[in-house]
Amino acid sequence: QALKVLTARIQEKDRSERAAKDAAERKSLVGSGDRSDRIRTYNFPQGRLTDHRINLTLYKLLSILEGDLDDVVNALQAHEAAAQLAALERNA
């Protein structure tokens, strides 16, 4: 009888540890949903698009919405290239 209780307690402890680990991983993947997690803001009254990840602000929202994404894509590519170069420099 005591062995069954001990086994049940160990299994419950393992289960709760796995659940806590899974919850922490899920939270890190999903984010909190706070305003601080924002990626991009579309401000229609000012005709402004702001990408908060790379601190890019463009005042041509309508042309961007019509498909003129060159400035946005080029800025994202330049930011990624700079990040990769910085990573290479840190590892060298």
Instruction: Read off the pLDDT of residues 7-54 as tens digits, 9 standing for 90 and up.
Output: 999 999 999 999 999 998 888 777 666 666 788 999 999 999 999 989
What's the whole-model pTM score? Answer: 0.58
Token code pair at residue 89: 């420099």
For residues 53 and 89, membership in a common domain is answered with yes
Residues 55 and 27 in one domain: no
Q: State phi, psi for 46 to the nearest 5 degrees.
A: -100, -5
Residue ranges making up the domain that contains 5: 1-33
Q: Which two tokens stand for residue 40?
A: 């991009």
Number of domains comprising the chain: 2
* Shared domain check, 73 and 49: yes
Q: Do 26 and 45 share a structural domain? A: no
Does 12 share its domain with 43?
Answer: no
Cα–Cα distance for residue pair 4/1, rounded to 1 Å: 5
Residues 42 and 28 in one domain: no
Q: Are residues 25 and 48 in the same domain?
A: no
